[in-house]
Amino acid sequence: MLDCTALIWQMLSVAHAMSRCKTSKKLLRRLIFHFPLFSLITKLRGKAKMRFSEGSQAFLEREIENERFSLRAVFKHLTVVEGSNEPLQYYASIQERLGDKVANDVLHGLLRAVFFIELVKEPKIETTKFALRWKDRLSEQSDPRYASYTECLLIFEKLIEDLDAALVDPANKTLLQTFVTHHLLPYEIPLDYRERPATERIHQASNLAWYWDELPRRVTGLRTFLLDPERNTDAPFFAAAYNKIKVKTYLTDRVLTGDYKTNREKRWEIHPRSVHFALRRVCWGIEYALIRQICHFDGFPSGLAEQLKEASLIEFSTTPFRCPITLEPLSFEAFKAEIAHPTHGKSAFQVGHLNPLKAIMTEEQSGHTAVNISWISFDGNRIQGALSLEETRRLIQRIAHNYHTQGLV
């Protein structure tokens, strides 16, 4: 009979030797993931720990079928108290660096981004529902958003390791704290795909990364400042404006025709070949552009503008923002009044694409990007219809010419 005590001592010796080598550490972590017996030789110091066992896949597949699916319940199941086996390395370290509240919210976001996706319900195309990356409509591997359970584990392992390393920089910790306190979407974290592949699968470890650059810092910095009633007396107005921006920036419109039907899905989670797809950081750029345009509306408070300028959050020009179609300045006070007293189904301040979206985006002006989206007046949006900005302006010029030649102006 096998001497279990001797076997465990041999495993302890192997683990000790492997822990001295960076390459072997990674192999050891994979052994912990896939062979629960190896978890007996790893003990993390700290508070709670996160685990994935052989039963975790089945647990996730059961939970996703619940009518009231709860990601927090899933997270709680994967977090266990001191002394339990199957710990996931780095969790205690991240808790220590960020504190329980921020760490748990960030890891909720990571769990959500790696294992789950929100797909629009078919056939009605009305609401979205959580799904797993390897189940239901994604189970056919021809869908580029597919990833097996094992692949999701590897993605999660890589990203949590990268996160732990990034938290050495205090600025990155601050960014995560700001996302937790001032998120526009549930589970929002600075994580994105590196690129939008034309033919290959998008949800792969090599194509997902944390983004710690200037754009997310500036976007969350503006949210923090503009939504703070102690620093900004117009904070209630901006809260309502951000709600409008959130829908137009991050979520898809209702599309009932074509190959890729959608309604209020996250733009980076719809099919990459859809004209409505956009990377998360592209959406950050759109949010920033729309807020910057508001800050250039005619009559924008000069004191607030000076504060934003001093905080290096926005660079101001002296030219007020105009509707790109009618070329009339958009009024800040009129927008505030509309927000305070809205009329259902009617708005003088709308958000629209300057040029129709194209399936294959050859330039920024043809996609869901910061340079192709703008605040537009009600009249401007009605005049433009389905035309591009250039086509609309040519039409207006032709009409103006006709009025001149007929002596009507």
Pull the structure tokens for residue 313: 């959050």
pLDDT tens for residues 254-273? 999 888 999 999 999 999 99
3-class secondary structure, 146: coil
What integer pLDDT is reported at residue 16 of this predicted model? 47
**How does residue 198 score in pLDDT terms, banded at 50, 70 and 90?**
confident
DSSP state string for 12-80: HHHHHHHTTSHHHHHHHHHHHHH-GGGGGG----SS-EE---TTHHHHHHHHTTSTT--HHHHHHHHEE
Q: Is residue 195 part of a domain?
A: no
Section 197-205 average pLDDT: 91
pLDDT at 21 over 90: no
What integer pLDDT is reported at residue 26 of this predicted model? 52
Rounded Cα distance, 205 and 28, in Å: 19
Pull the structure tokens for residue 165: 């390393």
In terms of domains, do 224 and 354 share one?
yes
Q: Is residue 94 part of a domain?
A: yes
In terms of domains, do 241 and 382 share one?
yes
Section 8-20 average pLDDT: 47
Q: Is residue 6 part of a domain?
A: no
What integer pLDDT is reported at residue 46 of this predicted model? 39
Rounded Cα distance, 212 and 190, in Å: 7
Highest mean pLDDT among 37-51, 89-103, 128-142, 301-315: 301-315
With a threshold of 0.75, does the pTM exceed it?
yes
Rounded Cα distance, 65 and 69, in Å: 7
Section 357-379 average pLDDT: 83
Contact (CB, 8 A) for 84 and 51: yes
pLDDT tens for residues 151-188? 999 999 999 999 999 999 999 999 999 999 999 999 99
Look up residue 130 and give its DSSP letter. E
Beta-carbon contacts of 233 under 8 Å, excluding residues fewer than 6 positions away, are none
pLDDT at 193 over 50: yes
By the 10 Å C-beta count (0-12 exposed, 13-18 middle, 19+ buried), 157 is classed as buried
What integer pLDDT is reported at residue 53 of this predicted model? 66
Instruction: Residue 119: give the domain boundaries.
Output: 15-181
Q: Is residue 171 part of a domain?
A: yes
In terms of domains, do 155 and 220 share one?
no
In terms of domains, do 226 and 326 share one?
yes
Q: Is residue 22 part of a domain?
A: yes
In terms of domains, do 223 and 368 share one?
yes
Q: Is residue 73 part of a domain?
A: yes
Average pLDDT over all residues of the chain: 86
What integer pLDDT is reported at residue 31 of this predicted model? 43
In terms of domains, do 175 and 240 share one?
no
In terms of domains, do 394 and 315 share one?
yes
Which among 139, 163, 181 is the end of a domain? 181
Kindly give the pairing relationship between strand 373-377 and strand 349-353. antiparallel
Rounded Cα distance, 381 and 376, in Å: 6
**How does residue 97 score in pLDDT terms, banded at 50, 70 and 90?**
very high
Number of compact structural domains in the chain: 2
In terms of domains, do 148 and 230 share one?
no
Which among 137, 159, 181 is the end of a domain? 181
In terms of domains, do 161 and 241 share one?
no
In terms of domains, do 138 and 248 share one?
no
In terms of domains, do 42 and 154 share one?
yes
Rounded Cα distance, 113 and 140, in Å: 20
Strand ranges, E, within 276-401:
349-353, 373-377
Rounded Cα distance, 349 and 397, in Å: 24
CA dihedral over 156, 74, 171, 207, signed as positive or negative: positive
**How does residue 32 score in pLDDT terms, banded at 50, 70 and 90?**
very low
Element housing 227 (H / E): none
In terms of domains, do 160 and 215 share one?
no
